[in-house]
Amino acid sequence: MKPSLAKGTRDFTAQEVSRRKYIINVLQNNFELFGFQPLETPSFENLSTLTGKYGEEGDRLIFKILNSGEYASKVNQEDWDNKNHQKLISQISDKALRYDLTVPFARFVAMNHGKLTFPYKRYQIQPVWRADRPQKGRFREFYQCDADVVGSESLLQEVDLVQLYLKSFSDLKIPVTIHMNNRKILSGLAEYAGITEKLIEFTVALDKLDKIGKEGVVKELLEREISQESIDKLEFLFNQSDDALENLLQLKEKFADSEIGLKGVEELEFVLTQSLNLGVDMQNLVFNITLARGLDYYTGAIFEVKADEVAMGSIGGGGRYDNLTEVFGVKNIPGIGISFGLDRVYLVMEELNLFPEEASTQVEYLFANFGGEGTVEALKLIMQLRQKGISAELYPENAKLNKQFTYAEKKGIKNLVFLGEEEIKNGTVTFKDLAAGEQKTLSLEEFLG
Confidence category of residue 137, pLDDT binned at 50, 70, 90: low
Residue 323 has a pLDDT of 79
Confidence category of residue 271, pLDDT binned at 50, 70, 90: very high
Q: Across residues 136-146, what is the average pLDDT? A: 87
Residue 71 has a pLDDT of 57
Looking at the predicted structure, is the pLDDT value of residue 85 above 80? no
Element (H, E) at 169: helix 156-171
pLDDT tens-digit series, residues 352-376: 999 998 888 889 999 999 988 889 9
Taking alpha carbons only, the member of 304, 300, 301 closest to residue 286 is 304
Looking at the predicted structure, is the pLDDT value of residue 180 above 90? yes
Q: Alpha-carbon distance 289 to 34, whole Å?
A: 29
Which domains are present in the chain? 14-42+98-351 (3.30.930.10), 362-448 (3.40.50.800)
- Write the DSSP assignment of 98-148 as a string of letters: -S-SHHHHHHHHHHHTTTPPSSEEEEEEEEEE--PPPBTTB-SEEEEEEEE
Q: Across residues 247-267, what is the average pLDDT? A: 93
Looking at the predicted structure, is the pLDDT value of residue 33 above 90? yes
Looking at the predicted structure, is the pLDDT value of residue 243 above 70? yes
pLDDT tens-digit series, residues 370-383: 988 889 999 999 99
Looking at the predicted structure, is the pLDDT value of residue 296 above 60? yes
Confidence category of residue 276, pLDDT binned at 50, 70, 90: very high
Least confident among 111-115, 196-200, 329-333, 435-439: 196-200
